[in-house]
Structure 1
Amino acid sequence: MADIILHHYAASPFSEKVRLLLGHKKLAWKSVIIPSVMPKPDLVALTGGYRRTPVLQVGADVYCDTALIADVLEHLQPEPTLYPEPEKGLARIVAQWADSTLFWAAMAWNLQPKGAAELFASLPAEAAKAFGEDRGKMTAGNMARIKPADAAAAYKNYLRRLSDMLDDRSHLLGEVPCIADFAAYHPLWYTSRVNAVKSILQLTPAVVDWMDRIKAIGHGSFEKIASADALAIAKAAAPKTLLTDSTFQDDHGIPLGSAVTIRAESFGLEETAGTLVAATRTHFTLAREDERAGSLHVHFPRTGYVLKAADAG
């Protein structure tokens, strides 16, 4: 099998989620550090437009969104499973809540003025401004922002609910971690890194203890490579998906082989254009060409993404 390559940066919370998944699965991987803000020319050469962090690459296959990346890692290394029976449906639902509702409440709390001041204290003023402008462009006015005061109440409630789930078990749904744990951990991990706001976690000691257990999993074995090397690996390879479901599910009236675009529903609205080569119950796949990266297949989860015919406007 081709090398597993993670395109990420250190402070990205969703990247921390995947780094821990790789450690949990004991998979060796290659690390490509990407910019935290646009432009990201080498990443976009692989994705065709998608710019959210992280992105997983295996040869000429590019997997977008951590929900889909988790499925890929599960296919690569089924044990220990991220989706234990009989709670696998519940695990996915809790993970989706954590990656959205919990995440945005946590980030509104984390990036309140005193938190933002600490995070950007060591950076030039123009860098902090560029980060804010970049994240503003990712929503394009399409998503409501939570006020810090509202976020405080919501975040405290969510932490208490997580604590309740840990009353009689070591992890959220049992005695071993599952996808729900990794999804709930990464927004709290970001909070734990900011001295000005991290005291909120002390309200729920059981959550802090659980975080220590997740952190101890670590990131596994990895080595750094340059983004140019990752592009060369893609160009030398042929697409060969690691996703096992292949049955065509047509909910759009768009046949395979059509020119299409795909983008996220609400955050990171840049489109990827290509030829639709898979539309299953779980994912979409687009074939595209890039001068530097060659022939690629770019994969997206079906949930949370918008598919359109290229001529739909």
Structure 2
Amino acid sequence: MNELILHHYPTSPFSEKIRLILGYKQLACKSVIIPSIMPKPDVLALTGGYRKTPVLQIGADIYCDSALICDVLEHLQPTPALYPEPGKGLARILAQWADSTLFWAAMAHNLGPKGAAHMFGNASPDTARAFGEDRKAMSGNMTRLRPADAAAAYKSYLRRLSDMLDEQPYLLGQAPCIADFAAYHPLWFTRVCTPVVADILDHTPAVLDWMDRMHAIGSGRMEKFDATQAIATAAAAEPLPVGHGLLRDSTFQDEHGIPLGSRASITAESFGPEPTEGELIAATRTHYSLRRLDERAGTVHVHFPRIAYVLKKVDV
């Protein structure tokens, strides 16, 4: 099995989710620090268009979106489980809510005027402006909460999380599951990256105690690696055959009338509208895969979760 290569940056919330899961599963990886905003030429050499963070690389297989990365890590190292029985369906649904509804409420609160001033206090006005323009371009037609509305929603969500911790140390039981890791990372950003607005957490001490337990898990063992090495690794490797890698579900499931072998694009439903194009080689119950050729990375397979992504045929 080729080594794990995580493309991420320190203040990325979804990267913190994956870093913590790597720690939970005691997995080692190569660490490639990437820019937080465009341009990202080295990332795009691997993904073909997808520019969100993090990205997991294993040889010439590129896994996009933290939800899919979690599935890959679970297949690679099944214990301790992210999706324990019984209740794995509930855990997945709660994680999806946390990665979307909770995340956007938290981030709208975190990056309100006070939080943004703290985060960019030592940066030049051009840096802050560039970050704002980058995230605006990624947001497209998304409806964003205003900071005051976000704070009200965030407080309610924190109370609900606190209620789940009344009689157990983690959200769904005695051990952390995918729901805990998904709920933790936006709160981590509040506490670590925008501490000037972290007093919102003080009203739910049970949540703070849970955050301390999650933090204590620690990150995986990471070895510094650079983007040039990562791209060379992809170029020297062969992608795993469909159905024989870490995404073992290979049964074709067609809702689009797009046969395998077609030229297709995959795009996030909302945040991050940049498409990736390639040859459709898998469309299963859980994921899509494209084969693409890059002059630097060679032939790569780029994988996306099916939920929250849009598949379209590309006219050649």
Shorter-chain TM range is: over 0.9
Deviating 4+ runs (over 4 angstroms): none
Q: 2:149 — aligned with what?
A: 150
Q: 2:276 — aligned with what?
A: 272
Distance 2:182 2:218 in 1: 15
Q: 1:3 — aligned with what?
A: 3
Give 1:115 deviation, angstroms: 0.5
Q: 2:112 — aligned with what?
A: 112
Q: 1:257 — aligned with what?
A: 261
Q: 2:204 — aligned with what?
A: 204
Give 1:195 deviation, angstroms: 2.3
Question: Matched residue of 2:31: which SS?
Answer: strand
Distance 1:18 1:221 in 2: 12
Q: 2:41 — aligned with what?
A: 41
Counterpart of 1:152 in structure 2: which amino acid? A
Q: 1:16 — aligned with what?
A: 16
Question: Matched residue of 2:195: which SS?
Answer: coil
Give 1:62 deviation, angstroms: 0.2
Give 1:220 deviation, angstroms: 2.0
Distance 2:290 2:165 in 1: 41
Counterpart of 1:269 in structure 2: which amino acid? P
Q: Does 1:307 align with 2:311?
A: yes
Give 1:222 deviation, angstroms: 1.1
Question: Matched residue of 2:173: which SS?
Answer: coil
Distance 1:308 1:27 in 2: 35
Q: Kindly provide the CA deviation profile for residues 3-35 of structure 1, in whole angstroms up to 9, marking residues without a partner as x.
A: 100000000000000000111111110000000
Distance 2:277 2:296 in 1: 17
Structure 2 runs not aligned, ≥5 long: none
Question: Matched residue of 1:2: which SS?
Answer: coil
Counterpart of 1:213 in structure 2: which amino acid? R
Counterpart of 2:86 in structure 1: which amino acid? P
Counterpart of 2:76 in structure 1: which amino acid? L
Q: Does 1:30 align with 2:34?
A: no
Give 1:311 deviation, angstroms: 1.9
Distance 1:220 1:264 in 2: 28
Q: 1:164 — aligned with what?
A: 163
Counterpart of 2:200 in structure 1: which amino acid? I
Give 1:139 deviation, angstroms: 1.4
Question: Matched residue of 1:176: which SS?
Answer: coil
Counterpart of 1:281 in structure 2: which amino acid? R
Q: 1:189 — aligned with what?
A: 188
Give 1:42 deviation, angstroms: 0.2
Give 1:176 deviation, angstroms: 0.2
Distance 1:125 1:96 in 2: 35
Distance 2:310 2:288 in 1: 10
Counterpart of 2:308 in structure 1: which amino acid? G
Q: 2:61 — aligned with what?
A: 61
Q: Does 1:295 align with 2:299?
A: yes
Q: 1:86 — aligned with what?
A: 86
Give 1:45 deviation, angstroms: 0.3
Distance 2:262 2:3 in 1: 30
Distance 1:192 1:222 in 2: 23
Counterpart of 2:175 in structure 1: which amino acid? V
Residue identity over aligned pairs, in percent, reads: 69
Q: Kindly provide the CA deviation profile for residues 34-83 of structure 1, in whole angstroms up to 9, marking residues without a partner as x.
A: 00000000000000000000000000000000000000000000000000
Give 1:254 deviation, angstroms: 0.5
Distance 1:55 1:95 in 2: 19
Distance 2:122 2:305 in 1: 37
Distance 2:229 2:86 in 1: 42
Q: Does 1:284 align with 2:288?
A: yes
Q: 2:123 — aligned with what?
A: 123
Question: Matched residue of 1:311: which SS?
Answer: coil
Structure 1 runs not aligned, ≥5 long: none
Q: Does 1:103 align with 2:92?
A: no
Distance 1:169 1:196 in 2: 29
Give 1:242 deviation, angstroms: 1.4
**Number of matched residues?**
311
TM-score by length of 2: 0.98
TM-score by length of 1: 0.99
Q: Does 1:248 align with 2:249?
A: no
Q: 2:177 — aligned with what?
A: 178
Q: 1:221 — aligned with what?
A: 221
